[in-house]
Structure 1
């Protein structure tokens, strides 16, 4: 079995490739940039109009605070506490965690359970992205599927408490916590007076205003068939978030077959359709983070219809046969840079 896991190589790629596609002629506009490994990914923040490293420190401290409360990659988090008490009692959580749980339950309901923050038992069973990744038996999958149901997450608004109703249930906020962290890092930067910056949390990119010369930021869209840092094209955005989910990010191979991390809670197996990745462009990263999984599940045609019905939301779909489809709002803002991909303008 081959596991895709090489943090050092990814770290080097991130430092080289995640600097935005923009350069300054004015030495006074040289950016400040910092990279750390958090939330199970490479996180890079680049600021273009601030002279103090302290501003980066404050943004990363906020990300760390969120990671310590709700990351699936750390033990002893508030999310773990809710899981440990499953079927027993309510657990008081911080306003941060309660906000994300509430958002997560909303999008779980809105997607009819395609995106489900109680998918923790299935995620742990597969172990994709860890040293113990494996293909579970049908019996194991059926057992864990019975523990996945967002309706069994009860939230007490007044007391900021959460409870999972069945023993064995657990939460996984990996599909939404990065978006919240990106939004919060952006908020911290703005409060510190930053006017031009990019927050990149490994697939969740948030831009603050435009670039220092007044032009939109050009953000690379990840090639879903290559290592992180390789792009198929660029999307031009101002004061937007760009969030991508795809089959490239975490996977393992068994008997020549790849198993990626985007699980279908109804089958218990990785989602399988014509899509290789979905990139959303909108205003709030936490919302986009949750919606990408539902849109990925829906596929190209139904996914495009979903996007069309959400105000201020646009999408870039990359199919497994290397065709790229963009929704109406991005037709003048997206450019293919890799000739191996073909841009198709009309979506049914």
Structure 2
């Protein structure tokens, strides 16, 4: 990258210094409002809830309520919790009297699949399992064969997710992965909880997927830094986030095996790890939209992903390609902050 990379550090709210699990009061702002924030490890990531209010006890209560929503989503949709409805579905192939929130996320996933022409498909889990098995300790440490992938791809078909009459079922052998959607949904649930509790200015950030409401008391917007995939702690740009959500999907943080350097996002058309771009960042009204469409763009690649985004109302994206080009959707730069706005 060139000089567009900016080290933003403390200027960006999303990288404020936090103490996990403790309510952290900030300095008092205009109108007697004060920033309170808390960070916890949930859903295999770091989640921060920050609010502006004048009362610490109120801040503690509303933040706890917001985290309760995230814990509830995690209890339903964690792949590692034995009693989660996601784990039950993947183990038994069906869930009776499924929680409405679980059904909602599954139904929404089919909407994103349709919008992306099938490139976003939560039934990709058998393919991810196949790749993971190849690079676990004791595995062959080499990619699956074409024959193995083709056989496994027979289990990938979002249209086979049945959510009728409050029950969920899959065809034998199918499994779903909610890593590209559940985190965004949990952020939305936390934000809705804050709004129901009368909070007007706040943000919730879950491992880089964030939703921001209102503004800071001085009238300035939240600033969100977009990570430089080549340099930890540096950012390629910053965007203004006011009543909007921002999510990034990329292959520079998670690997099945560090030496294998295999992307955690596979293409449901081929079974191979997605290639062509390093990251896709999406701005949308809700975190679930931003999360899912960021994943879809990452799978689709530069041309198809950009074409999809241009056809969606109120959604923008920034793509970083493997050759380090920045590719913007037509309206993305309306959110981008210039250097004077960042430093000012």
Asked if 1 retains the 8 angstrom alpha-carbon contact of 2:222 and 2:242, the reply is yes
Aligned residue for 1:5? none
1:18 aligns with 2:15: yes
Q: Equivalences for 1:181-260 in 2 at 5 Å?
A: 181-227=186-232, 229-252=233-256, 258-260=261-263
1:174 aligns with 2:179: yes
Alpha-carbon distance in structure 2 between the residues aligned to 1:135 and 1:198: 42
Question: Whose helix proportion is higher, 1 or 2?
Answer: 2
Alpha-carbon distance in structure 1 between the residues aligned to 2:29 and 2:333: 32
Alpha-carbon distance in structure 1 between the residues aligned to 2:95 and 2:249: 32
Choose the corresponding residue for 1:75, options 73, 76, 82. Answer: 82
1:319 aligns with 2:321: yes
Once the two structures are TM-superposed, the CA of residue 17 in structure 1 deviates from its matched residue by 5.4
In structure 1, stretches of 5+ residues that fail to align are 1-12, 338-348
- When structure 1 is superposed on structure 2, of 201-210 and 257-266 the one drifting more is 257-266
Asked if 2 retains the 8 angstrom alpha-carbon contact of 1:18 and 1:44, the reply is no
Once the two structures are TM-superposed, the CA of residue 136 in structure 1 deviates from its matched residue by 4.3
Q: Deviations over 1:175-197 (max 9, x none)?
A: 11011101100000011111111
Asked if 2 retains the 8 angstrom alpha-carbon contact of 1:203 and 1:245, the reply is no
The root-mean-square deviation of aligned C-alpha atoms, in Å, is: 2.7
Alpha-carbon distance in structure 2 between the residues aligned to 1:144 and 1:200: 34
CA, structure 1 residues 230+126, in 2 after alignment: closer, same or farther (shift >3 Å)?
farther
> If the length of structure 2 is used for normalisation, what is the TM-score?
0.83
Asked if 1 retains the 8 angstrom alpha-carbon contact of 2:13 and 2:224, the reply is no
Asked if 2 retains the 8 angstrom alpha-carbon contact of 1:40 and 1:73, the reply is no
Aligned residue for 2:126? 121
Once the two structures are TM-superposed, the CA of residue 302 in structure 1 deviates from its matched residue by 2.8
Q: Deviations over 1:249-303 (max 9, x none)?
A: 3125576x52111111122121011x11111111011122111222222322332
Determine helix, strand or coil for the equivalent of 1:92: coil
1:268 aligns with 2:268: no
In structure 2, stretches of 5+ residues that fail to align are 1-9, 18-25, 340-344
> If the length of structure 1 is used for normalisation, what is the TM-score?
0.82
Once the two structures are TM-superposed, the CA of residue 74 in structure 1 deviates from its matched residue by 2.5
Aligned residue for 1:61? 68
Determine helix, strand or coil for the equivalent of 1:81: helix
